[in-house]
Amino acid sequence: MFTAKKEWDPQLEELADDVSRWTGNDVRPVAFSASDLARRSGAPLFAEVLAADLTVYGQRSWLQRQVGRA
């Protein structure tokens, strides 16, 4: 869905591996920039995060505004 490998990707992958090992749960991180979100605000992922009433990072209201659900 999202492209451009970022410089922090190796750290994110290591964190996901650690969390999987600690919890026994499958971890699949999703990283996106504000510009990614602007281009893909209609992606089902964002609607699902909001529908599940999750706050992944920062203010939930920010994500709601970005996907037009404020």
Name the residue range of residue 51's domain. Answer: 33-70
Task: Please give the tally of structural domains in the chain.
Answer: 1
Is residue 38 in a domain? yes
Reported as a single tens digit per residue, the pLDDT across 2-43 is 445 677 888 889 999 999 999 999 988 887 778 888 888 788
Is residue 59 in a domain? yes
Give the contacts of 8 (CB within 8 A, at least 6 positions apart).
31
Q: What confidence tier does 69 reach under pLDDT thresholds 50, 70, 90? A: low
pLDDT, residue 4, reads 53
Is residue 39 in a domain? yes
Q: What's the half-sphere exposure (Cβ side, CA atoms, 13 Å) at 15?
A: 9
Is residue 57 in a domain? yes
When comparing pLDDT for 54 and 69, which is higher? 54
pLDDT, residue 2, reads 47
Is residue 1 in a domain? no
Beta-strand (E) ranges in the chain? Answer: none
